[in-house]
Structure 1
Amino acid sequence: MYRNFSIVPKIMFGRGAFNQIADILNERRIGEGAYMVFVIDDVFTDAPLEARLPLENGDMLLRVNVEDEPKTKYIDELVEKIRAFNPKKPVGVIGIGGGSAMDIAKAVSLMLNNPGSSADYQGWDLIKNPAVYHMAIPTLAGTGAEISRTAILTGPEKKLGINSDYTLFDQIVLDPELLVGVPKDQWFYTGMDCYIHDVESLQGTFINEFSRAYGEKSLELCREVFLGEHEDKDDKLMMASYFGGMSIAYSQVGACHALSYGLSYVLGIHHGIGCCITFDYLEDIYPEGVAEFRRMMEKHDITLPRNLTKNMSEGDLEKMVTTALGLVPLWENCLGPDWRNIMTRERTLELYKRM
């Protein structure tokens, strides 16, 4: 009746926490030839952050490209690259970057211990073997990837996460100093992913006091960050992301995330901006949330892309509809057990055409 909920067991938070990563990893460097794989967004190539990584002899620096959202084929290629680097498994995989980089680290750590392709595990609780020890160091805040049991991947047939308790990180290090210098648009879109998590969780049919407690605090922090003026806004946003991820862990997201998956799968639109584009058309479902979201956009001078689907073929539009409606738990949370009679293919198609 109730899911036995798992959570990231070790969490470090605070400015300068990045400086303690070496101490944490040294506890794992046991045995001859023990090595780490540092999975880092290639935007940091030769940047000061990369130079601060506690690399030791034998460690692998794996720069990953996230211009496109992670694909199962890319995960499989990265796993083979690690095996070619060293036939022995690493004792740890460390993901440094935004949501996509963290999801790549999750997926790679899983696939080092599970046979086949990562596409075989897109779904719920399909992973059989625990992952290699893996740590997250977010440099963006909002996705909740650092705390979620999902590694979101685009496969040959669908966009769907590897959802498993084994996906959860063993350790996360939350250092607000790492958010300094993030471009405004990226900061906003990623932060809005968190805000939308909260709205969808709190207004969903799966809501319970566990999720409500985290969601309400996350929503409060998002309002302080995006509607107020606070010197410690980066600290607040990192905690909002954490609490927002927890709010959906025992409930679910909703219509916005389901529809954004369709945009991403067919058009390759990144998750954060995809959620913002989609949410702006959902005033019928989330009227108060959309109104507040628009105030946040106005305050930060954000303009969303329009007419994305104007020249799309009917076949591609139908593919988007199929992708979105295939996310059954999200729609059940949003609209209840009768959701299929409410969010019909025709209504979903009309929403996409408006975008």
Structure 2
Amino acid sequence: MFRNFKLVPNVIFGRGCFSQLDEIIEKQRQNNDAWVVFVTDDVFRGKTLEKRIPLHEKDLVLWVNVDDEPKTKYVDELTLKVKAYRSSFPCAVIGIGGGSSMDLAKSISLMLTNEGSSTLYQGWDLIKNPAVCHMAVPTLSGTGAEVSRTAVLTGPEKKLGLNSDYTVFDQVVLDPELIKNVPKDQHFYTGMDCYIHCIESLEGTYLNEFSRSYGEKSLELCRQVFMDDHPDKDDKLMMASFFGGMSIAYSQVGACHALSYGLSYVLGTHHGIGCCIVFDYLDEFYPAGVKEFRAMMKKCKIELPRELVKNIEEEQIEKMITVALGLDPLWENCLGKDWKSIMTREKARSLFIQI
């Protein structure tokens, strides 16, 4: 049985296309009472981008803090704020920011129409009702959140996404001008999330020609950005992120993402840098990819944190292992159906204690 997955139905790309956001949203404003929620990274508060948000009189701007990875508790709090703002649902929820802001926007749009806490929906295809119309405006590129069918959240017991066809954005606005001033390290870490997506997809047991086609193009673009320093690198990275997300839509990520989820759950490590930290120890699984990754690190003058796990408690290491090994599809994509006989708790521990 082949998967019949949902794609983002509307995409606009080009330098300056952010200026068309109001026109795009207008199609959702069906009556005078229609209103919109802008879920916006608070790093833009007081900055030029804030003044460019096409805010109408009844609209709400939710300034979200993403210093920490998105948590189910935060999603639930933000959803309650939206519900308390007006008695009717917003006609659209717009995520403006990096992967975390986009995942928060996805989550809020879903939790407005699905009862209970977001913790109830961490997993695959647990969402029952379609979301409020939701759109993405990425200001970072690499996570693939703009095109993926998941909103990754850390809950009380696990780090796991709200994975469903209803999670997919209805509209994506890809304006390369919005990522031109991203700090060097952050630019690298989010870009490497895309690179690692593709390596895991292309080396995985779930690989098919659909995934391969997008993954190979995304890798080519990543190399132009991080090895060639191409003059159009912002445009290229934005498309690499989109294609990288498409590559894993019909396959999966692998060992790096599974282990980084464990690391992030316990230590709060941000996703992009967490993937980079873990990937640097995965020669055994992705030898060519790790070698090229290190060349990109050297080229971009990036130094990764070391010895993160050195002084943590045994209970924390056990939790890392439990969270990482709870992601069955990722390990099956990496190691095959018999993955549990290969990636034992002892093997996972040996990897974590190196980090």
Q: 1:164 is matched with which residue?
A: 164
- Write the distance in 2 (CA, Å) between the matches of 1:212 and 1:139: 26
- Alpha carbon RMSD of aligned pairs, Å? 0.5
Cα offsets for 1:136-187 (capped at 9, x unmatched)? 0000000000000000000111000000000000000000000111000000
Where 1:150 maps in the other structure, the secondary structure is coil
Within a 5 Å distance, the mapping from 1:208-287 to structure 2 comes to 208-287=208-287
Q: 2:174 is matched with which residue?
A: 174
Q: What residue identity is the alignment partner of 1:168?
A: V
Q: 1:18 is matched with which residue?
A: 18
1:330 to 2:346 alignment: no
Where 1:141 maps in the other structure, the secondary structure is coil
- Write the distance in 1 (CA, Å) between the matches of 2:79 and 2:344: 40
Structure 1 length as normaliser, TM-score? 0.99
Q: What residue identity is the alignment partner of 1:276?
A: C
Q: 2:145 is matched with which residue?
A: 145
Structure 2 length as normaliser, TM-score? 0.99
Q: 2:186 is matched with which residue?
A: 186
Q: Using the TM superposition, give the Cα deviation of residue 5 of structure 1 relative to its aligned residue in structure 2, in angstroms.
A: 1.6
- Write the distance in 2 (CA, Å) between the matches of 1:75 and 1:271: 17
Q: 1:112 is matched with which residue?
A: 112
Q: 2:317 is matched with which residue?
A: 317
1:46 to 2:46 alignment: yes
Between the aligned residues of both structures, percent identity stands at: 68
Where 1:18 maps in the other structure, the secondary structure is helix
- Write the distance in 2 (CA, Å) between the matches of 1:285 and 1:31: 55
Cα offsets for 1:10-56 (capped at 9, x unmatched)? 00000001000011011111113100000000000111001100001
Where 1:281 maps in the other structure, the secondary structure is coil
Q: What residue identity is the alignment partner of 2:233?
A: K
Where 1:143 maps in the other structure, the secondary structure is coil
- Write the distance in 2 (CA, Å) between the matches of 1:84 and 1:332: 43
- Write the distance in 2 (CA, Å) between the matches of 1:228 and 1:180: 17
- Write the distance in 2 (CA, Å) between the matches of 1:32 and 1:175: 29
Where 1:354 maps in the other structure, the secondary structure is coil
Figure out how many residues of one structure are paired with residues of the other and give that number. 355
Structure 1: 5+ residue runs without aligned partners? none
Q: Using the TM superposition, give the Cα deviation of residue 229 of structure 1 relative to its aligned residue in structure 2, in angstroms.
A: 2.5
The range that moved more, 255-264 or 221-230, is 221-230
Q: 2:206 is matched with which residue?
A: 206
Structure 2: 5+ residue runs without aligned partners? none
Where 2:95 maps in the other structure, the secondary structure is strand
Where 2:63 maps in the other structure, the secondary structure is strand
- Write the distance in 2 (CA, Å) between the matches of 1:229 and 1:156: 41
Where 2:28 maps in the other structure, the secondary structure is coil
1:307 to 2:324 alignment: no
Runs of 4+ in 1 over 6 A off after TM superposition: none
- Write the distance in 2 (CA, Å) between the matches of 1:112 and 1:158: 22
Q: What residue identity is the alignment partner of 1:326?
A: G
- Write the distance in 2 (CA, Å) between the matches of 1:3 and 1:64: 34
